[in-house]
Amino acid sequence: MDVTQVQQRMLDAYGIRVEPEMGRYVIRRLQQHAGPTRGEVPVIGGDARTGVPVRRLIDVAQFAPQSPASI
């Protein structure tokens, strides 16, 4: 998963626009939670409709890409 994919996924799933640095942060946190993906990642961005700054906790298990074995 690269930065643009993270940004698009945040926008589609949560309605949050994130900057590239936040996308890189999310990628690093997903890599730390590799294996049994448990935990949450704090994400700061802007609400896609209003632009108001938001902070949300994103569940790693729901956000992480699915492994080919689980498909």
Residue 36 backbone phi and psi in degrees, to 5? -70, 100
Q: Can you name the residues that pair with 54 across neighbouring β-strands?
A: 45
DSSP label of 69: G
4 within 8 A of 12, measured Cβ to Cβ: no
pLDDT tens per residue, range 44-58:
999 999 999 999 999
What's the token pair of residue 16?
């949050």
pLDDT tens per residue, range 16-66:
999 999 999 999 988 887 666 578 889 999 999 999 999 999 988 888 765
**What are the extents of the domains in the chain?**
3-70
Class of 3-70 per CATH?
alpha beta
